[in-house]
Structure 1
Amino acid sequence: MGHHAVAVRRIDLGYFIRPAVETGGPEPRVEAVLAYLVRHPDGLLLFDTGIGAADPETEAHYRPCRRPLPEALAAAGVTPADIDLVVNCHLHFDHCGGNPLFPGTPIVAQTAELAAARGGGHTFEELIDFPGVRYEEVSGEAELWPGIRVVPTPGHTDGHQSLVVRRDDGIALVLAGQAHDTAAEYGYALLARRAAGEGVEPPLPAYRPWLDRLAAFDPRRVLFAHDASVWEPTGPAAG
Structure 2
Amino acid sequence: MKEWEIFAVKYADRNARTRADSFIFDDNHDAPHAMDYFIWVLRHGSRVIVVDTGYDDAEGTARGRPIRMSPTEALAPLNIDPKAVTDIIVTHLHYDHAGGLHLFPNAQIHLQAAEMQYATGPCMCHDTLRMPFTAGHVCEAIHRLYNGKLSFYRGDHVLEDGLSLHLIGGHSRGLQAVRVHTSAGWMVLASDASHFYENVLKSKPFPIVVDVEDMLSGYDTLKRLANRPELIIPGHDPLVRDLFEHGPADHITRLDRGPIKDIPL
Task: With the length of structure 2 as denominator, give the TM-score of the two structures.
Answer: 0.69
Q: Report the equivalent of 2:217.
A: 209
Q: Aligned-residue CA RMSD in angstroms?
A: 3.1
Give the superposition deviation at 1:82: 3.2
Residues 47-85 of structure 1: CA deviation (Å, up to 9, x unaligned): 1111244387x624xx33242011111011211123221
Quick one: distance in 2 between partners of 1:48 and 1:84? 13
Give the superposition deviation at 1:153: 1.6
After TM superposition, the structure 1 stretch with the greater mean CA deviation from structure 2, 23-32 or 94-103, is 23-32
For residue 36 of structure 1, the aligned residue among 23, 33, 40 is 40
Q: Report the equivalent of 1:186.
A: 200
Question: Are residue 127 (structure 1) and residue 141 (structure 2) matched?
Answer: no
Quick one: distance in 2 between partners of 1:164 and 1:23? 24
Residues 100-132 of structure 1: CA deviation (Å, up to 9, x unaligned): 112231111111111222234251121122396
Quick one: distance in 2 between partners of 1:218 and 1:96? 25
Alpha carbons 1:118, 1:125 under 8 Å: kept: no
Q: Report the equivalent of 1:95.
A: 97
Alpha carbons 2:35, 2:238 under 8 Å: kept: no
Quick one: distance in 2 between partners of 1:103 and 1:138? 21
Of structures 1 and 2, the one with the larger relative CO (CA 8 A, separation 6+) is 2
Q: Report the equivalent of 1:85.
A: 87
Secondary structure in 1 matching 2:187 = strand
Secondary structure in 1 matching 2:239 = coil
Q: Report the equivalent of 1:45.
A: 49
For residue 54 of structure 1, the aligned residue among 31, 38, 59 is 59
Give the superposition deviation at 1:99: 0.8
Alpha carbons 2:11, 2:69 under 8 Å: kept: yes
For residue 70 of structure 2, the aligned residue among 57, 68, 71 is 68
Q: Report the equivalent of 2:174.
A: 159
Quick one: distance in 2 between partners of 1:40 and 1:160? 25
After TM superposition, the structure 1 stretch with the greater mean CA deviation from structure 2, 224-233 or 128-137, is 224-233
Letter of the aligned partner of 2:76 in structure 1?
A: A
Q: Which has the higher helix share?
A: 2
Secondary structure in 2 matching 1:95 = helix
- Structure 1 residue ranges (4+ consecutive) displaced by more than 6 angstroms after TM superposition: none
Q: Report the equivalent of 1:146.
A: 161
* Distance change in 2, residues 1:76/1:216 (3 Å): same
* Distance change in 2, residues 1:27/1:170 (3 Å): closer
Alpha carbons 2:14, 2:36 under 8 Å: kept: yes
For residue 222 of structure 1, the aligned residue among 215, 232, 238 is 232
Q: Report the equivalent of 1:108.
A: 110
Letter of the aligned partner of 2:91 in structure 1?
A: C
Q: Report the equivalent of 2:207.
A: none
Residues 171-194 of structure 1: CA deviation (Å, up to 9, x unaligned): 11110001112012211139xxxx
Quick one: distance in 1 between partners of 2:88 and 2:112? 13
* Distance change in 2, residues 1:86/1:22 (3 Å): same
* Distance change in 2, residues 1:207/1:11 (3 Å): closer
Aligned residues: 212
Give the superposition deviation at 1:170: 7.4
Q: Report the equivalent of 2:21.
A: 22
Alpha carbons 2:188, 2:226 under 8 Å: kept: no
Q: Report the equivalent of 1:8.
A: 6
Residues 5-25 of structure 1: CA deviation (Å, up to 9, x unaligned): 520011111123565573563
List runs of 5+ in structure 1 lacking aligned partners: 191-205, 234-239
Alpha carbons 1:189, 1:207 under 8 Å: kept: no
List runs of 5+ in structure 2 lacking aligned partners: 24-28, 125-129, 205-213, 244-257, 260-265
Letter of the aligned partner of 2:165 in structure 1?
A: V
* Distance change in 2, residues 1:54/1:78 (3 Å): closer
Q: Kindly name which structure, 1 or 2, has the bigger radius of gyration based on alpha carbons.
A: 1
The alignment-based identity, stated in percent, is: 24
